[in-house]
Structure 1
Amino acid sequence: MKLRVSIAALCGAAISALAVPAYADESKDGDRLTAWEASRAPQDDSGMIATGVARARDRLDSATSTSSLLEGDITRIAPTSLSELFRNIPGVRSEAGVGTTNGSYTIRGLPLVSSGAKYLQLQEDGLPVLEFGDFLALTADTFTRADLNVDQIESIRGGSASTFASNAPGGVINLISKTGEVEGGSILASAGLNYEGYRSDFDYGGHLSDTVRFHVGGFYREGNGPRHIGYTADRGGQIKFNVTKDFTGGYIRFYGKVLDDRNAMYLGTPISVTGTNSDPHYHDLTGFSANSDSLLSRYIADSPVMDENNRLTQFNVHDGLHALSKAFGLETKFSIGEWSISEHMRYADQSADASFLFPIAIGPIITAPALAGAPGGSLVYASGPLKGQNITNPTTINGNGIAVLTNPIHIKFRSANNFTNDLRVGRVWNFGGGDLTTTAGLYTSRQEFHSDQAVADALQDVRGDGGSALFDVVKADGKSVTQGGFLDFAGPVGSHVSRDVDYTVIAPYGSVNFHRGKLALGASVRVDTGKVEGTIRANEPTDVQTIDINGDGIISDAERTFAFVPFSRDMPVNYRYHYVSYSFSTNYRWSESLSSFARYSRGARAGAERLLFSPAISRVDGSLLNKKAGYDPVKQAEVGLKYRNNGVFFNLTGFWAKVRETNTQLQPDANGFTTQQLVSRGYRAYGGEIEGGIRRGHFNLTGNATVTNAKITAAENPALVGNKPRHQAALIYQIMPQYDTERFTIGADVIGTTSSYTQDINELKMPAYTTVGAFVQIRPIERVELSFNVNNLFDVKALTDVSAASMPANGVTLAQTLYGRTISTALRFYF
């Protein structure tokens, strides 16, 4: 495996580095914290903030809304994915439960029209993982993992991010790595107790001399994952390292990462719904748990399709999403006279293969023959232990009588490579009896998006524990309509596509901040210019051919439907966009412990991949037919109050936002089939956010809550104007009480949301829910820690997405839920 070779090489380099004599003074080494001591030291995230600001500064002197999750918080939460972890960040709405990757995120009422993260940027060590976080099936968390390398996760929310990051008007979440300040490291072994999942983590760092330090760490994991699917789906890991040379007035750091990891993608869960639109009741189908089962199955694997060269191939759904990343970068800060200069660059060689099932319709299995164009036909199992047997009891099969029309989808992301560079120059001037801080910078990036997509249509029954199987539809004359459970090998029209598009961003920016006494005034501006060029192509209804895939000499209806994309149908993409972002702020520090701020900002987010194949782009020359579609502007205002004193802190912020959005959205059509549609809308949101905490002796309590009032202000369908955006709850909240002693730590992580609408027409609701996580850490002896974690302790059915727009006539729909109860344990040794 490439990962093992890469890890071996990097470990060898690390061992060689450790062999270098350390010339540091012994007394100085003795003053440094060890990893064990650092883990037991009181953790405080209320001091300095470095993400999304011109230079690091005290939070009470910064007109920003910021938060941090420290390493101790992360290990206690024990998340299975970043989307689970980000549920703990104030203001962030994280739709988790889809697997390790492909989470969907938004912030402070900004719309989540599609999947991924459009207005919220995910960064590693200050640079974006992907320039755009909402590529279809390829989100920024595809190439990002939280492990023992992470020192803390900083978040900045609101308009201040508009001018210090491109394409991040809503905010930034930044995973910050350890860099060797602490001596030593740890090894952690963890395992699921009620699910199959095994993982080993390690990290180690320290000083090679007084001026040279390093850190290296990583993980490897394997298992079925939190849902019962019947095969090993999660397998792989990563390794990261960095080396820092400190010198007078600055430092220079080199760092790298190798990621080779695969995971299952859980997209859509069958569920029963009764009651009314305003008071629905969601229940498990007989033999299938929405919390712990999946349509992924040991009996559904190979799917024949045409590849990017129009040759017959097949992909294996069991491969899931396989992400590969090799990244290296440089970061340096130094001074020349009164000027401070920073340079931060990273190149990432990134690719992925995504193989998954995407269910698009659900109903009684007895209606399958009519759906396949063979009314009165019979049903025969096409896979699994009953393959070849007739389904004689369709109305009661598996105890539920339900079937799903699903799309086996394969997307080969040949390149998601990106290069980012951020050069910044600053100086503090004595001016008017105060400090005038000026900063000028230039951000450049190039993001590749080269992919090939193939889709088929298949029929499967609904059975839990990874036991779902495909079935065939046979006409009354005995001729099969389907082939091996596949209704066709074309999928929806236009779903076989190739994209070879490159995005270039150039963004000069600058800021001024005047600080005198208790008052600070700030202003910043950023000018983004983007160039998008490449080619795209997609199949038309007539682009199909016949292939006798089983070689039996009999051509079934399905075998006549292999979709392909003619190379002669390349369409150009060639357009530019340009927008200006700005932000104005004031901060007043009333006392050592109290400050207030206000800010007004305008930012934007480029349209990116979601515009391809849409009417916004000319199919003749690739230009923008609708210039406004090139980017979506976001206007925001904030006022806030911050307090910090004697173990108590709270941050109270009021916010307002106005958004214009062009995007594609998955919606149910009149027949209940999930389809992709172009939407062009306006949104408005306002509300309040509170975050606080108190530490008294061994007891610590933190929490946050966000109240949001959002509505659609303009839409392609006038009937939607005035409605609430789908999935937007009026309240989301999180509370974490802990009791920490030398020998043990015990606590809980309570996260909840009020109800919301499944779709923008505002008919069917998703109920409110509260999940409770519990954790216990036991330290029987020094340097040893045993922990137990339970997520979703009470196995609550927490829905984050429902495909139906109103109460379905057949009483079933497709949904996305958070994981049910998962129990894990871990043993950690410090050295």
Structure 2
Amino acid sequence: MSKHFLLIAAAPLALIAPAAAATEAPLATDSAPAATEAAESKEPEREVFTTGVAKGRDPLDSATSTSVLKAGEIEKLGARSLAEVLRNIPGIRTESSTGEGNSNYTIRGLPLASGGSKYMQLEEDGLPVLEFGDIFNVASDIFIRYDYNIGQIEAIRGGSASTFVSNSPGGVINLISKTGETEGGSIGFTTGLGYDSNRLDFAYGMKLSDTLRMHIGGFYRVGEGPRDVGFTAYKGGQLKFNVTKDFAGGYVRLHGKWLDDRSPQYVTVPVKITGTTADPEFSSFANFDVRRDSMLSSNITSLVTLDASNSPAAYSTSEGMHAKVKAIGLESQFDLAGWTITERFRYSAISGSTLRNQIFSLFSGASLPAAAGGAGGTLSYANGPNAGQVIANPAALNGNGIVGNMLLIRIDARSLDNINNDLRASRVWNVGGGKLTTTVGVYKSLQTIDTTWLYTNTYQDALGGGQSSLLNAANAAGTPLTQDGYVAFDLNVGGIPGQYRRTFDVDYNVTAPYGSVNFHVGPVAIGGSIRYDIGKVRGRLFGSDLGGGRAPRVPYDFNNDGVISDAEARTAALPLSRPAPVNYDYDYVSYSTGVNWRVSEPLAVFVRYSKGARAGADKILFTPSVSTVDGNLVEPDAAYDTVTQLEGGFKYRGANATLNVTGFLADTTDRNIQGGTGLEILRDYRAYGAEVEASYRTGPFSVTGGLTYTSAEIRSDSRNAAISGNTPRHQPDFIYTLTPQFDSKKVTVGFNLFGTTSSYAQDTNGLKMPGFAVVNAFLQFRPIERVQLMLNANNLFDTVGFYDIAQDAVPANGVGWGRAINGRTVSTSLRFDF
């Protein structure tokens, strides 16, 4: 990999010399600095969009569906995570209940069978954070943060995203950093009112000379966070910088990033489900609030198991989602012989881990002794303030009688290192009274996936305030069935020893040449683009569930008492002497073509047809799609899934109002592992609908909003024909946002409303999760120039909402589990601009 790195690194360095000698006129609206600094400047600017297109241009002159979120507006949203920011973009559906990262993202009804963002790429300054946005348990959003460094967020849905970015047939979201065009800085402190959260942000930009500028910024935070977990769950920060040298006709920029931040992953919690399947009711159990509590606890401090080398290890549960990134990059743009050359390069050393406490099943009441310890068995506290005490009446435990059969899981990401390079050249030709823009480019990516899954199985009660404890079980004879709350030091569900104890050590080498043409004459622009992705996948896998014989359990005396307990006997090791190879190649072609008609200065209409694809990455490993004997594909088309899209609509931009409406139709194939079930799926989907984005301003009053209607269908399922024709789980008919506000010199006040209609809990279309609407209110007060006080309430009305319910019918005992949105949190901040 080092050889490839040196070759790629040489490309941007080689461009510096001719760039410095360029003497042609400065770039127009297609330059990256112009797009970046638009968010920093307070002066009116020509609107330019640069993400996922050949050259930056006015959106009304492009047959694409795009959105921009400016930093000043994002600040008011009261978002507690990046996913909560991005849900304000029409067409984007986010399941933002997991905390800072590992949220689920999709676009225009494209399938969301598993976690992360399979069909949509998250970028930072024009390059992907990870080549694949849905890597098992370590999605892209874990390794990116929104802070004062960001000038604006650009999003493109459908369209040319298929051909200008690899593995992004649905769309691209790009976080664009400030680059010091506007001198000055900001420092701000935010603290929670009624919950433990403290964060310091800063940013500063300056001109070092007439042609040299820089920007630096970052944040640091610490606190328990919006849910009661009983320990400091958020801790860490980020530092980013860039230095830009401008010259006649272009620029060259060096940029870097250091991120070391940990945050909790909120997963499933116990949910009381009553009523009927047609009309269910969801609520909290006694002493456990679905809005504020978590199965994380101050009494559960370690995950004990064998590590990737089969040595004993104890991992701190406070690690949560721990992101470590060290990145360095170089960006350059200049004119050469009539061509505009753009070069972007970044090397990111990425590592970290995720640790979560996930419900596998729940026991209730008097059934506990029979289910956990056999008839006449007992339960007792394994840790916490009541350690050793026998639970005389499990049915009354904590007032709810709930005990969880838990999966305490650590995913160790030793390396997710990523190298990206995108080199393109564009030229505008005068042809037939119009402008013909031609672009050619090549993209190169090297992505490592070196991770290990470490599953353990525990028993735990359900008590809020971060005070739940592990439980021990014994049979009627008093023989312990657990040890220190552990049922097994591996995954002990389904009767398969060692299931999901895996190591991935695989490298993905992607090369993608691409090109486009666009002819703009009068009010009409006609264009097309094509991309050819070539992938080489090499590596090895270790796992007891690869087939060909399972690794035997390896009893280990974790507590060093000289006795192997029943739980210690249930310890699995990785079969390190039996790796399975990964050795396959793939290639696919993406294309897109569209027509845009600028009917008048404020109005344009467009239509576009696109076909793109997304490589399967780690979701097809450990499945029958890849041979465990030679590492080749068993089915030639298993390496990627395709998306075809037809879209069309209009865009209006007046002096005080904007209105963008786009209709879409998408057909998708999806070979995946369904989140929460572990089931392999192979499906065809269809989705159609429309997205609306609008804004209006009159005097100090303004309102912005978005609405997306989606009708989605599982057209076929090769593994389960019974669900063909059903609506995909979690897919609502409508999602919507609305942000009205009043803005004066001293005060800004308003709210951000996000809502979703009901959706099915599972693909079998039984139980429905109710729709919900969340209001985030904000008040900004500027007593003097350059000083701002802000009060923000997230989920002002303490709404209960669910993104996931595990059941497909009302359980007979009323006990279910799912992922709920966070309850009301109020914060205040003080910001100084200088």
TM-score (norm 2): 0.93
- Shift of residue 367, structure 1, vs aligned partner: 3.1
Is the 8 Å Cα contact of residues 523 and 582 (structure 1) preserved in structure 2?
yes
Match of 1:741 among 730, 739, 744: 744
Aligned to 1:750: 753
Distance in 2 (CA, whole Å) between partners of 1:410 and 1:36 is 41
Pick from 678, 685, 688 the counterpart of residue 686 of structure 1.
Answer: 688
- Residue in 1 that maps onto 2:770: 767
- In 2: Cα distance, 1:169 partner to 1:161 partner: 6
CA distance in 2 between partners of 1:103 and 1:240 (Å):
23
Quote the residue 2:561 is aligned against: 552
The aligned counterpart of 1:635 is 644
Residue of structure 1 in register with 2:25 after alignment:
none
State the alpha-carbon separation in 2 of the partners of residues 295 and 788 from structure 1.
30
Q: Distance in 2 between matches of 1:287 and 1:43?
A: 54
Q: Name the counterpart of 2:698.
A: 696
Q: Is the 8 A contact 1:490 1:544 kept in 2?
A: no
1:729 equivalent to 2:738? Answer: no
CA distance in 1, matches of 2:572, 2:527: 56
SS at match of 2:331: strand
Q: Deviations over 1:393-443 (max 9, x none)?
A: 210111100111111111111100000000001111111211100000000
Residue 572 of structure 1 deviates from its aligned partner by 0.4
Aligned match of 1:27? none
Gaps of 5+ in 2: 1-33
Equivalent residues of 1:523, 1:583 under 8 A apart: yes
Q: Secondary structure of the equivalent of 2:137?
A: coil
The one of 514, 521, 537 equivalent to 2:542 is 537
> Which stretch has the larger CA shift, 555-564 or 211-220?
555-564
Pairs within 5 Å for 1:108-507: 108-372=108-372, 374-491=374-491, 492=493, 493-507=498-512
CA distance in 2, matches of 1:652, 1:828: 37
SS state of the match for residue 749, structure 1? Answer: strand
- 1:526 aligned partner: 531
Tell me the distance in 2 between the aligned counterparts of 1:818 and 1:394: 29
Distance in structure 1 (CA, Å) of the matches to 2:617 and 2:456:
26
Deviations 1:760-803 (A, max 9, x none): 00000000101001000000000000000001111111111111
Name the residue aligned to 2:658: 649
Residue 15 (structure 1) aligns with = none
Aligned CA distance change for structure 1 residues 473 and 342 (closer, same or farther; 3 Å) = same
Q: Which amino acid aligns with 1:663?
A: N
Say if 1:36 and 1:830, in contact at 8 Å, map to a contact too: no
**Which stretch has the larger CA shift, 76-85 or 417-426?**
76-85
State the Cα distance separating 1:40 from its structure 2 match. 9.7
The counterpart of 1:812, out of the listed 811, 815, 834, is 815
1:322 Cα deviation (Å)? 1.2
Q: Which residue of 1 aligns with 2:8?
A: none
SS at match of 2:161: helix
How much does 1:365 deviate? 4.9
Corresponding residue for residue 107 of structure 1 = 107
Query: Pick from 793, 799, 802: which aligns with 2:802?
Result: 799
User: What amino acid maps onto 1:822 in structure 2?
Assistant: T
| Separation in structure 2 between the aligned mates of residue 365 and residue 628 of structure 1, nearest angstrom | 50
SS in 2 for 1:88: coil
For 2:272, give the aligned amino acid. S
Q: Distance in 2 between matches of 1:411 and 1:236?
A: 19
Superposition deviation, residue 41 in structure 1:
3.9
Please report how far the alpha carbon of residue 756 of structure 1 lies from its aligned counterpart in structure 2 after TM superposition.
0.3
Residues 761 and 37 of structure 1: CA distance in aligned 2, closer, same or farther (over 3 Å): closer
How many Å apart are 1:42 and its aligned residue? 7.5
* Maintained 8 Å contact 1:182/1:206: yes
Which residue of 2 is the match for residue 29 of structure 1? none
Normalised to the residue count of structure 1, the TM-score between the two structures is 0.93
Mapped pair 1:784 → 2:787: yes
Counterpart Cα distance in 2 of 1:413 and 1:806: 36
Q: Identity of paired residues, percent?
A: 49
* 8 Å Cα contact 2:37/2:182 also seen in 1: no
Do the aligned partners of residues 177 and 643 (structure 1) sit closer, same or farther apart at CA in structure 2, a change above 3 Å counting?
same
Provide the residue aligned with 1:594 in structure 2.
Answer: 603
Q: Note the alpha carbon deviations across 1:140-159, whole angstroms, 9 max, x for none.
A: 01110000000000000013
The alpha-carbon deviation at position 386 of structure 1 amounts to 0.3
Secondary structure, aligned partner of 1:568: coil
**In 1: Cα distance, 2:598 partner to 2:410 partner:** 55
After superposition, the C-alpha distances for 1:212-264 in whole angstroms (9 at most, x for unaligned) are 11100000000001100110010000000000011111100000000000111
Displacement after TM superposition at 1:319 (Å): 1.6
Say if 1:368 and 1:473, in contact at 8 Å, map to a contact too.
no
Q: Answer whether contact 2:40 2:178 (CA < 8 A) is retained.
A: no
**Aligned residues of 2:37 and 2:179 also touching (Cα < 8 A):** no
Q: Which amino acid aligns with 1:83?
A: A
Write the distance in 1 (CA, Å) between the matches of 2:109 and 2:806: 21
Q: 1:781 to 1:218 in 2, by over 3 A?
A: same
SS at 2:800 equivalent: coil
* AA at the equivalent of 2:823: G
Matches of 2:432 and 2:369, distance apart in 1:
81
Mapped to 1, the partners of 2:271 and 2:457 lie a distance apart of 21
8 Å Cα contact 2:323/2:351 also seen in 1: yes
How does 1:668-679 map onto structure 2 within 5 Å?
Answer: 675-679=677-681
Query: Is the 2:535–2:586 contact (alpha carbons within 8 Å) kept by the matching residues of 1?
Result: yes
Match of 2:22 in 1: none
**Aligned-partner residue type, residue 805 of structure 1:** D
Contact persistence 1:215–1:243 (CA under 8 A): yes
| Kept after mapping to 2: 8 A contact 1:447/1:502 | yes
Q: In structure 1, what is the Cα distance between the partners aligned to 2:297 and 2:645?
A: 45
Secondary structure of 1:410's counterpart equals: strand
8 Å CA contact 1:748–1:775 kept in 2: the answer is yes
Instruction: State how far apart, in whole Å, the 2-side matches of 1:813 and 1:438 are.
Output: 57
Matches within 5 A, 1:47-126: 47-126=47-126
Q: Where does residue 9 of structure 2 map in the other structure?
A: none
3-state SS of the aligned residue for 1:48?
coil
- What code does the residue aligned with 1:573 have? V
Counterparts of 2:612 and 2:483, CA distance in 1: 51
Deviation at 1:305, TM superposition (A): 0.5
CA–CA distance in 2 between the matches of 1:509 and 1:290? 48
Q: Following the alignment from structure 1 to structure 2, what is the Cα–Cα distance between the partners of residues 708 and 820?
A: 27
Q: C-alpha separation between the residues in 1 aligned to 2:757 and 2:307?
A: 45
In 1, distance between residues paired with 2:638 and 2:112? 17
Give the match for residue 825 of structure 1: 828
Any conservation in 1 of the 2:373–2:473 contact (CA below 8 Å)? no
Q: 1:42 to 1:286 in 2, by over 3 A?
A: farther
Contact 2:726–2:765, Cα closer than 8 Å, also in 1: yes
Q: How far has the Cα of 1:475 moved from its partner? A: 1.5
Give, as a single letter, the amino acid of the residue that structure 2 aligns with 1:699. F
- 1:364-395 superposed Cα distances (whole Å, 9 cap, x missing partner): 15434433463320011001100000101210
Deviating more after overlay: 416-425 vs 406-415: 406-415
How far off its partner does 1:474 sit? 1.0
Shift in Å, 1:78: 2.9
Query: What is the deviation of 1:543?
Result: 2.2
CA contact (8 A) 1:317 1:408 kept: no
